[in-house]
Amino acid sequence: MEGTETLYPGVFFFVRLWYILSMSYASGRLISQTPFNSATYYQILKILRRLLLYFILILAVLWAVLPLFWVFISSIKPDIETYAFDQTIFPKNPTLKNYITLFRVTQFGLWMRNSAILATSTTLLVVTLSSMAAYAMSRFRYQLFELFGRMTLLAYMMPPIILVVPLFFVLFKMNLVNSMLGLLLVYTGSRLPVGLWMLRSYFQGIPIELEEAAMVDGATRFQAFRKVIVPQALPGMISTAIFVFSVTWQEFLFASILIFSSKKQTLSAGVATFLSEDWIYSWGLLMAAAVLVSLPLVLLYAFLQRYLIAGWGGGSVKG
């Protein structure tokens, strides 16, 4: 016990004091008659560590949830309460007027449709193209493939702001400026590198014996990829799809520069028009837009999480 006291002098003192006082209070015995040993000390220390871990986790959850909670509460507050001197956490007169006004006054519904089309199309293209490219890079050992993979990673590491001007001139020459097709091409090209590297590492973890067995049974290379490898790689493909959809759904830089028409704007660029240098149209309207922008992503994660946890393809033999 002397070594323990030397190693944790401060912790040992408080644990011993807490234990003796609690035991003395419960049993009515004198403090000097309360037993205490190393096993009891480590048991109490384990409980304290667990309580500390739970406390840190609760703080982390509150740190992430409280801003979302405040956004939602502000979205159902009338502007009179928002600008009032005496602020309250919960609204005195909750209302959905901000949501109704959002769709009546602005083109929020059109912006949401544009973002949904672009995010879904980009996700489908990126997952399809990157899965085939990642499969080829993980199965065929060519120096050109390795060079191609490193160059795509280098392209993804470049700040997007550097690419804005060259992409603008390229799209202008192709007559694709201020068009959703041009924005779709930009999104697809900028998301392909990360999709490629995410799926490449996942394909490398799938045993090659699975597709070899399928080809021995008469399947072609593409049939083995589609019917054997793709079902095993579904968790990785779903993870990639979630990432690509989330990034594309909330992208602002390219949408605000390459799109001029209000009818073709996306959510991030459209909602940014609510703000100016020294003026805000309505805080309630802005918070309502923030809630509706975040809601599809929350539902997406909630719906696809169970598929990721289930781990499709878990019954196969993994090397």
pLDDT at 292: 92
pLDDT at 111: 93
Best mean pLDDT range from 84-88, 117-121, 274-278: 117-121
Q: Is the pLDDT of residue 34 over 50?
A: no
pLDDT at 60: 92
Buried b (16+ CB within 10 A) or exposed e, 14-37: ebbeebbeebeeeeeeeeeebeee
Name the phi and psi angles at 280, rounded to 5.
-130, 130
| Rounded mean pLDDT, 181-208 | 87
Best mean pLDDT range from 39-48, 60-69, 109-118, 283-292: 109-118
Report the distance separating Cα 152 and Cα 229, nearest Å. 23
- Whole-number mean pLDDT of the chain? 80
For residue 314, what pLDDT band results from cuts at 50, 70 and 90? very low
Are 177 and 289 contacting, i.e. CB atoms less than 8 angstroms apart?
no
pLDDT tens string 88-103? 778 888 888 889 988 9
Report the distance separating Cα 122 and Cα 129, nearest Å. 11
More confident residue, 51 or 172: 172
pLDDT at 144: 75
Q: Taking the model in full, what pTM does it have?
A: 0.76
CATH 1.10.3720.10 maps onto the chain at 98-310
Name the least confident of 103-112, 165-174, 278-287. Answer: 278-287
For residue 19, what pLDDT band results from cuts at 50, 70 and 90? low
Buried b (16+ CB within 10 A) or exposed e, 142-171: eeebeeebeebeeebeeeeeebbeebbeeb
pLDDT at 3: 47
pLDDT at 48: 79
pLDDT tens string 126-183? 999 999 888 888 887 777 767 777 777 777 778 888 888 899 999 999 999 999 999 9
Best mean pLDDT range from 80-84, 109-113, 305-309: 109-113
Query: What percentage of the chain reaches a pLDDT higher than 70?
Result: 80
CA angle 105, 109, 110 (to 5 degrees): 105
| Rounded mean pLDDT, 111-122 | 94
For residue 37, what pLDDT band results from cuts at 50, 70 and 90? low
CB proximity list for 86: less than 8 A, separation 6 or greater:
none
For residue 2, what pLDDT band results from cuts at 50, 70 and 90? very low
Q: Dihedral of CA 71/73/75/80: which sign?
A: negative
Fold of the domain built from segment(s) 98-310: MetI-like fold (1.10.3720)
Question: Of how many residues is the chain composed?
Answer: 319
In the DSSP assignment, the letter for residue 84 is -
